[in-house]
Structure 1
């Protein structure tokens, strides 16, 4: 095979790979175009307990850290401000309206090491599980910048509704 022929094969394979990537991303965007949660504010009477700056890593299907949800406002990594109050958690993602997660939406909070596109030191991510408007449970991964993932998780933990067994409620939603 000539050099020119090899170059054409490499260019064709590269174009095919890029084309498949674009096709897959658009297909996922179409599948996930449903808004997970309407933007909103926490109640005016909410008292701020802690504020964290950091990075929004991803939102994934519940207990599936490698299955990114490409929903509006949650598709891309960005900086995030997390405001924890006595009445809920607010997520301020760069370029997006504020998301308010009231306690009745919160399912669980824990630490994690792996999320799609990101592997960090042991327990370096905070995984916040919450219910969407459709009732499905999703996991949002956050990486605090000036605090530990444990500190963020511990700040949110008192807001998680407890079941009669004293454990966080973990049922999945019934939405589409």
Structure 2
């Protein structure tokens, strides 16, 4: 077999695999189309509440750390800032839709060591368990100061779980 034929076969396989990956992502989005759109943070949030910077890692279906939520831009990682308010938690994500998690929708907070495509040191991820339009989801964050963030979240949310 000539070098040109081998190169074309490899390029064809790479294109096929990329096409299958894209098709899989869109199939996941269709399966998750029932999940509601996250609320936007209220415009009148006071600015004097605690704010924490870090990375938004992912949102997964509740208690299923390997099932990423792909709809409503929840499947993309990026920098974020979390603001903790008595009425809920605001997540401001760089380049993506901001998220408002009302206090009544928070099911718990915990620490995690891993989630879809991310493994860190023991309890290195901050997890907020919440309900998004009737669907249980878990959002994972890699905060710059996880202990302070967890302490403030626990004080506002008041239903912290034991670490995983």
Could you say which TM-score interval applies, normalised by the shorter chain?
Answer: 0.7 to 0.9
State the distance in 2 between where 1:38 and 1:86 align: 16
Question: Which residue does 2:71 correspond to in 1?
Answer: 71
Q: Work out whether residues 80 and 92 of structure 1, in 8 Å CA contact, stay in contact via their aligned partners in 2.
A: yes
Question: Which residue does 1:39 correspond to in 2?
Answer: 40
Q: 1:4 Cα shift?
A: 2.4
SS of alignment partner, residue 76 of structure 1: coil
Instruction: Report 1:1-176 matches (<5 A).
Output: 1-33=1-33, 34-41=35-42, 44=45, 48=49, 50-133=50-133, 135-145=134-144, 147=145, 149-160=146-157
Q: Work out whether residues 47 and 87 of structure 1, in 8 Å CA contact, stay in contact via their aligned partners in 2.
A: no
Q: Work out whether residues 42 and 89 of structure 1, in 8 Å CA contact, stay in contact via their aligned partners in 2.
A: no
Q: Work out whether residues 55 and 79 of structure 1, in 8 Å CA contact, stay in contact via their aligned partners in 2.
A: yes
State the distance in 2 between where 1:153 and 1:88 align: 14
* TM-score under structure 1 length normalisation: 0.79
* TM-score under structure 2 length normalisation: 0.84
Deviations 1:21-62 (A, max 9, x none): 1111122223334434222328757962x2101111100011
SS of alignment partner, residue 72 of structure 1: helix
Change (3 A) 1:38 1:102: closer
SS of alignment partner, residue 56 of structure 1: strand
Q: Which runs of 5+ in 1 are unaligned?
A: 169-176
- Aligned alpha-carbon RMSD (Å): 2.3
Change (3 A) 1:35 1:91: same
SS of alignment partner, residue 108 of structure 1: strand
Change (3 A) 1:43 1:102: farther
State the distance in 2 between where 1:7 and 1:20 align: 20
